[in-house]
Amino acid sequence: MLENFESISPTAIVTSYPRTFTDIPYEKTIYEWLCTNCNEKVNLNKMLAPEIEARYKLTNKLLELTKINQVLEIAAGYSSRGIIYSKKDYRYVEMDLEGVVKNKNELLKELNLNNENLHVINGSALNYEDFNKSNQYFRKDKELAIINEGLLRYLTFDEKKIVATNIYKMLKEYNGIWITCDVTPKKFIKSQNNVNPELNSNLNDVTSRNDLKDRFEDFNHIKKFMKEIGFSNVEIHKFSEVKDDIKSFDILNIDKEQYDELLENAIVAIITI
């Protein structure tokens, strides 16, 4: 059961590419580095940009509202978030699997994007020992935010339970919160297929782990799942909250209205212990 997670790693390029069609800093430079230095061949889709941009910006907005300034981002991939927030004096730790972490640390070094507040460590979200590796970078007397974008959807419910339990245990130590878009329920896939028909079939070619049966049914299912782990509350925010901040609509000359349903159905949740 606990295997084959490296097959998810190429999806980090699938999500890095559309961010180049946004105003998010560093994304073009990061993606250019990946093109020059990685041989992975994956199907790329720029029409994913509004969705990826919305989840990135909504996550940032919610993080900033919490006023918490130490972050563990799991499955961080090639995202620029850690670079940006560590420059704003956040203590920031990214955790991902070995291949991605090796690339990320190389690109940070070569592009001169390192700083003393940013640490990119190798670990699996399914292994609590790996979470412990980040403790050395955080202050125990301060709250911690755990963030993840684009991991749980690829995991079975048994695997999601292991990750959620690890996050719960970690947050218990810091009295923090979990911010994630990864609990978006099934009906979102229908909206995604409406605006982007090839996306999910292409993703199936990138990773075998993209199965509809591994999606939450609806909000009640998310809340029940989280309550069973021990979390006390799940607060839902829709991507549409940041509709006005999405620059890729204009950059790609996309008709915004066709994304309305998708932005209503996709969510970021704030989950509290």
Binding residues (CB under 6 A) for ligand SAM: these are 5, 8-9, 11-12, 15-16, 74-77, 79, 96-97, 100, 124-126, 149-151
Contact 172, 135 (CB under 8 A): no
Nearest residue (CB) to ligand SAM, 53 versus 68: 53
Q: How far is the CB of 186 from ligand SAM (least distance, A)?
A: 18
CB closer to ligand SAM out of 70 and 148: 148
Shortest Cβ distance from residue 215 to ligand SAM (Å)? 15
Q: Report in angstroms how near the CB of residue 110 gets to ligand SAM at its nearest.
A: 19
Contact 126, 160 (CB under 8 A): no
Q: Tell me the C-alpha distance between 165 and 13, whole Å.
A: 28
- Token duo for residue 54: 């919305």
Largest CA distance in the chain: 47
- Nearest to ligand SAM of 39, 232 (CB atom): 39
Least spacing, CB of residue 48 vs ligand SAM, in Å:
11
Nearest approach, Cβ of 114 to ligand SAM (angstroms)? 19
- The DSSP annotation for 65-114 comes to HHT--EEEEET-TT-SHHHHHHHTT-EEEEEE-HHHHHHHHHHHHHTT--
Report the residue number, 9 or 117, with the smaller CB distance to ligand SAM.
Answer: 9
Q: Closest separation between CB of residue 46 and ligand SAM, Å?
A: 15
Q: Which is nearer to ligand SAM, 76 or 146 (CB)?
A: 76
Q: Which residues contact 200 (CB under 8 A, 6 or more apart)?
A: 189, 192, 193, 210
Q: Which residue is nearest to ligand SAM (CB)?
A: 77
The set of residues, in sequence order, having a beta carbon less than 8 Å from that of 74 and lying 6+ positions away, is 95, 96, 125, 146, 147, 148, 151, 163, 167
Residues 6+ apart with CB under 8 A from 184: 153, 215, 216, 265, 266, 267
Nearer to ligand SAM, 125 or 254 (CB): 125
